[in-house]
Amino acid sequence: MSPLVLLAALAAVVLWGASPVAAKVAVGELSALTVALMRTFVGGLLAVPVALALRVPLPATRRLKLILLLTGFCGFIAFPIPFTIGLKLTSANHASMILAALPITTGAIALLWDRRKPTRIWILGSLIALVGEAVLIGGRQSAGAVNQPSLPGDLLVLLSNFAASLGYVAGGRLQQAGYPSTGTTFWGAAAMALVLAPVVAALWLFGDLGPELASASARSWLAILYLAAVSTILGYVLWYWALGKGGIARVGLIQFLQPVSGIILAALLLGEGITPSFLAASALVLFGVWLAIRGK
């Protein structure tokens, strides 16, 4: 894996590590559905003029267009909606812990897609990292701590995990087929914003979406803009490019680092605690990532 690919993947993971914190800030004031919808809708609106200005083409073949719709649906609808609703019910650092399983599910889906068997090093590194994740999830917060996790919230975040993984694999396939990662991100987000437009319009006209957004604080709007522009657009451009250049199974393992940055930010910005078990688990996760990346 080249240093540039590694740097792009790490940058995407760090940007995404802040997503649970930004979403937690937003859902503290707005409904989870509102945050999830606006994340994709605003991101899609921002993506269209950028794609047109850069003259990013649409996929040339019907097959690639279908894959674009698949990755767009998984990444911009099937992931953010259950993730944001789940985050409303659980803690930001617990959501970050659960997202540590993304490299496993991404790599496994990629292997099934290509009908390949994993190497022993990949399996060993993944198992070690999963042990670290188990220690993380098992390290429950103390009584009276803020933002306590819950089982329903955890399960919804876990469901979003599978949707994101399938979207990553599809996006990586587009990159490997020669379609640029900017197209995968910009046109994928734009297509899903178009899908959500009737829902947003109905909630605006007949629901509470308009008054809710009008009364939102600048802090909540900044959180939504971060989710839409940085996490949804910039993060996906970097990640799809890295997947296409470095290989889905190997690059996907770098996402084991995502809960580390997420939990640190949750501690600094939301006051969620970092326990000794978290530090021990982080060491296992980092070692597992290093070992698994050695496997092709």
pLDDT in tens, 157-196: 888 989 999 998 998 888 888 898 889 889 999 999 999 9
Q: Please, what is the end-to-end C-alpha distance for the chain in angstroms?
A: 10
pLDDT at res. 1: 67
pLDDT at 203: 93
- Do residues 83 and 156 lie in contact, with contact meaning Cβ atoms separated by under 8 Å? yes
At 242, phi and psi to the nearest 5? -65, -40
What pLDDT score was predicted for residue 142? 47
Rounded mean pLDDT of the chain? 83
The alpha helices in 61-150, defined as continuous H runs, are 62-73, 80-89, 92-98, 102-114, 120-138
**What gap in Å lies between CA 91 and CA 93, rounded to an integer?**
6
Specify the pLDDT at position 144: 45
pTM for this prediction: 0.79
Stretch 214-228: mean pLDDT, rounded? 92
pLDDT at 236 over 70: yes
Tokens matching residue 192 = 């899903």
With bands split at pLDDT 50, 70 and 90, how would you rate the model's confidence at 62? Answer: very high
236, 170 in Cβ contact below 8 A? Answer: no
Q: Stretch 40-47: mean pLDDT, rounded?
A: 92
The mean pLDDT of 81-90, rounded to a whole number, is 88
Q: Rounded to the nearest 10 degrees, what angle do helices 181-206 and 235-246 cross at?
A: 150
Cα→Cα distances 284→20, 35, 101, 126, 134, Å? 22, 33, 14, 10, 10
Round to whole Å and give the CA distance between 251 and 11.
12
Say whether pLDDT at 296 is over 80: no
With tokens 């469901």, the residue in question is: 159
User: pLDDT at position 72, please?
Assistant: 94
Confidence of residue 20 (pLDDT cuts 50, 70, 90): confident
Q: Residue range 283-293: average pLDDT?
A: 75
pLDDT at 145 > cutoff 60: no
Average pLDDT over residues 221-245: 87
Residue 1's Cβ-count burial label (10 Å; 0-12, 13-18, 19+) is middle
Higher local confidence (pLDDT), 42 or 246: 42
> In whole angstroms, what is the distance from residue 81 CA to residue 87 CA?
10
pLDDT surpassing 90 at residue 222: yes
